[in-house]
């Protein structure tokens, strides 16, 4: 199973904005982009902005926010093309439906990495069955619950306390007391909280 490794603060610095890859740490003074608000690497200098560079940066931003690699992102794009409706909106909805994104939005994990790790280790159940695939796409009516050992449950409780003030997406119904939640409807374009211009991505992937 491929995944992003290494430092993530440099990813935010490269995109010139916070991608919140470290959860609540990104709101603190320790956030890397607060201390170094310039692109990573040696001898960096301003580059000429082209249509292609804008399209590429937008695609890279989406990939990094949702933690997917190139081949997986291409597969999501192909699926979005096959579906009816706007391809760009279909693409973002598919990414929002990933189980690791749902666990994060329910406030059960501090960051997307923590959510992915819990799922990969088999601590998350969907409709009473263990789900260990972070890319699993939830459906309407799916019930999500964390069912791990005491150490895992304690970690989830800490995440719930930290995320207590976060806004809950309209398409999810959280149940903190049961360490879970439910998918009440499929997400819409307006439910995507990230500043992503999907039209630029479609223009690039359609080349």
DSSP 98-120: BHHHHHHHTT-SSSHHHHHHHHH
Whole-prediction pTM value?
0.81
Say whether both 103 and 180 belong to one domain: yes
Q: pLDDT-derived band of residue 4, with 50, 70 and 90 as boundaries? A: low
Q: What is the CATH number for 36?
A: 1.10.1050.10
Q: Are residues 88 and 138 in the same domain?
A: no
Mean pLDDT across 122-139: 94
Please check whether residues 72 and 104 belong to one and the same domain. Answer: no
Q: Residue 24 in 3-state DSSP?
A: helix
Same domain, 68 and 109: no
Residue 4 domain flag: no
205 pLDDT exceeds 60?
yes
Measuring CA to CA, which residue among 5, 198, 162 is closest to residue 89?
A: 198
Q: Looking at the domain assignment, is residue 104 inside a domain?
A: yes
Q: How many domains does the chain have?
A: 2
Residues 67, 108: one domain? no
Residues 134 and 113 in one domain: yes
Q: Contacts by 46-52 with C-beta closer than 8 Å and gap 24+?
A: 51/203, 52/204
Q: What is the mean pLDDT of residues 62-78?
A: 91
Is 23's pLDDT higher than 80?
no
Residue 80 sits in the same domain as residue 114 = no
Q: Is residue 15 part of a domain?
A: yes
Identify whether residues 57 and 81 lie together within a single domain: yes
CATH number where 142 lies: 3.10.290.10
Within a domain: residue 2? no
Structural domain boundaries, residue 75: 9-40+49-95+193-205
Other C-beta atoms closer than 10 Å to the C-beta of 198 total 20
Q: Give whole-number Cα distances, 60 to 70, 156, 185, in Å.
A: 9, 30, 28
Give residue-wise pLDDT tens across range 38-63: 566 665 666 677 888 889 988 988 88
Q: Do the beta carbons of residue 85 and residue 91 sit within 8 Å?
A: no
| Cα torsion angle, 18, 20, 24, 26, sign | negative
CB-CB contact of 14 with 39 (8 Å): yes
Locate the DSSP E strands across 80-171: 124-126, 129-130, 143-146
Token readout for 20 is 């919140």
> Which 3 state secondary structure label does DSSP give 173?
strand
């Amino acid at each position: 199973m491929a995944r992003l490794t290494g430092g993530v603060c440099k990813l935010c610095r490269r995109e010139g904005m916070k991608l919140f890859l470290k959860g609540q740490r990104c709101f603190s003074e320790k956030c890397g982009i607060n201390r170094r608000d310039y692109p990573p690497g040696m001898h960096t200098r301003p580059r000429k902005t082209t249509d292609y560079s804008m399209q590429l940066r937008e695609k890279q931003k989406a990939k990094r926010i949702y933690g997917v690699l190139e081949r997986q992102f291409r597969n999501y794009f192909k699926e979005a093309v096959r579906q009816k409706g706007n391809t760009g909106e279909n693409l973002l909805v598919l990414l929002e439906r990933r189980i690791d994104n749902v666990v994060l939005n329910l406030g059960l994990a501090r960051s997307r990495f923590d959510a992915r790790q819990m799922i990969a280790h088999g601590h998350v159940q969907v409709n009473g069955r263990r789900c260990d695939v972070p890319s699993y796409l939830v459906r309407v009516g799916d019930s999500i619950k964390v069912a791990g050992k005491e150490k895992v449950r304690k970690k989830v409780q800490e995440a719930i306390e930290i995320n207590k003030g976060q806004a809950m997406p309209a398409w999810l119904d959280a149940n903190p007391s049961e360490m879970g939640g439910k998918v009440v409807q499929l997400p819409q374009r307006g439910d995507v909280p990230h500043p992503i211009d999907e039209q630029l991505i479609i223009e690039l992937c359609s080349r």
